[in-house]
Structure 1
Amino acid sequence: MIDPVLLRENPEAVKRSQIARGGSPDVVDDALAAEATRRVSLTAFEELRAEQNAFGKQVAKAPKEDKPALVAEAKVLAQRVKDAQAASQEAEAAYRAAIDKIQNVVIDGVPAGGEENFVTLREVGEIPTFDFAPRDHLELGEMLGAIDMERGAKVSGARFYFLKGIGARLELALMNYALNTALENDFTPMITPTLVRPDIMGGTGFLGAHADEIYHLAEDDLYLVGTSEVALAGYHSDEILTFPESGSVKYAGWSTCYRREAGSHGKDTRGIIRVHQFNKLEMFVYCRPDQAEAEHERLLALEEKMLASLGLAYRVIDVAAGDLGSSAARKYDTEAWVPTQGAYRELTSTSNCTTYQARRLDVRHRPEEGGRTQPVATLNGTLATTRWIVALLETHQRADGSVWVPEPLRPYLGGLEVMEPIA
Structure 2
Amino acid sequence: MLDFKFIKDNLDAVRENIKNRNVTASPEKVVELYDQRNLVLQELEDLRRQRNENASKMKGKLDPEVRQGLIDEGKALKDQISQVEVRMDSLLKELQQAAVLIPNMAHPDAPVGKEDKDNLEILRSGTVPEFSFKAKDHVQLAEAMDLVDFENATRVSGSKFYYLKNEAVLLELALTRYALDVLQKHGFILTITPDIAREEIVEGIGFNPRGEESNIYTLEGTGTCLVGTAEITLGGYYAGQIVDLSNGPILMAGVSHCFRREAGASGQYSKGLYRVHQFTKIEMFAYCKPGESDALLMKLRSIEEEIFNGLEIPFRIVDTCTGDLGGPAYRKFDLEAWMPGRGDEGDWGEVTSTSNCTDYQSRRLGIRYKDEEGKNHLVHTLNGTAIAISRGIIAIMENFQQEDGSIRIPEKLVPYTGFSEIRRS
Secondary structure of the residue aligned to 1:103 is coil
Give 1:135's aligned residue: 136
Give 1:378's aligned residue: 381
**Structure 2 matches for 1:9-408, cutoff 5 A?**
9-24=9-24, 27-60=26-59, 62-115=62-115, 116-207=117-208, 211-245=213-247, 247-268=248-269, 270-341=271-342, 342-369=346-373, 371-385=374-388, 386-408=390-412
Residues paired across the two proteins, number: 418
Aligned-partner Cα distance in 1 for 2:400–2:246:
42
Residue 127 of structure 1: how far off its partner (Å): 1.3
Q: CA RMSD in A?
A: 1.8
Q: Is the 8 A contact 1:362 1:375 kept in 2?
A: yes
Cα 1:418/1:78, change in 2 over 3 Å: closer
Q: Is the 8 A contact 1:124 1:313 kept in 2?
A: yes
Secondary structure of the residue aligned to 1:213 is coil
Aligned-partner Cα distance in 2 for 1:82–1:191:
45
Aligned-partner Cα distance in 2 for 1:352–1:41:
35
Give 1:411's aligned residue: 415
Instruction: After superposition, give the CA deviation of every residue in 1:218-272 in whole Å (9 maximum; x if it has no partner).
Output: 0323101111110000001011000252x11011100111111110144545321
Q: Is the 8 A contact 1:144 1:166 kept in 2?
A: no
Identity %: 36
Secondary structure of the residue aligned to 1:380 is strand
Instruction: After superposition, give the CA deviation of every residue in 1:331-379 in whole Å (9 maximum; x if it has no partner).
Output: 111001111222100011111111111111111000124x221110111
Secondary structure of the residue aligned to 1:387 is helix
Residue 39 of structure 1: how far off its partner (Å): 0.8
Q: Is the 8 A contact 1:159 1:269 kept in 2?
A: no
TM-score w.r.t. length of structure 1: 0.94
Instruction: After superposition, give the CA deviation of every residue in 1:136-174 in whole Å (9 maximum; x if it has no partner).
Output: 111211232211112221221211111111111111111
Instruction: After superposition, give the CA deviation of every residue in 1:44-65 in whole Å (9 maximum; x if it has no partner).
Output: 1111121122133334454123
Q: Is the 8 A contact 1:254 1:279 kept in 2?
A: yes
Report the AA paired with residue 260 of structure 1. Answer: R
Aligned-partner Cα distance in 2 for 1:170–1:348:
18
Instruction: After superposition, give the CA deviation of every residue in 1:290-347 in whole Å (9 maximum; x if it has no partner).
Output: 1111110011111111112212111111111111111111111100111122210001
Residue 43 of structure 1: how far off its partner (Å): 0.6
Instruction: After superposition, give the CA deviation of every residue in 1:69-99 in whole Å (9 maximum; x if it has no partner).
Output: 4433333333222222322333233322222
Aligned-partner Cα distance in 2 for 1:312–1:355:
34
Instruction: After superposition, give the CA deviation of every residue in 1:27-51 in whole Å (9 maximum; x if it has no partner).
Output: 2111111111111101111111211
Structure 1: which 5+ residue stretches go unaligned? none
Report the AA paired with residue 192 of structure 1. Answer: T
Residue 419 of structure 1: how far off its partner (Å): 1.6
Q: Is the 8 A contact 2:4 2:31 kept in 1?
A: no
Q: Is the 8 A contact 1:333 1:348 kept in 2?
A: yes
- Greater Cα shift, 343-352 or 72-81: 72-81
Report the AA paired with residue 192 of structure 2. Answer: I
- Greater Cα shift, 95-104 or 317-326: 95-104
Structure 2: which 5+ residue stretches go unaligned? none
Aligned-partner Cα distance in 2 for 1:86–1:329:
35
Instruction: After superposition, give the CA deviation of every residue in 1:93-121 in whole Å (9 maximum; x if it has no partner).
Output: 33222222211111111112221221111
Aligned-partner Cα distance in 1 for 2:72–2:223:
46
Aligned-partner Cα distance in 1 for 2:258–2:131:
34
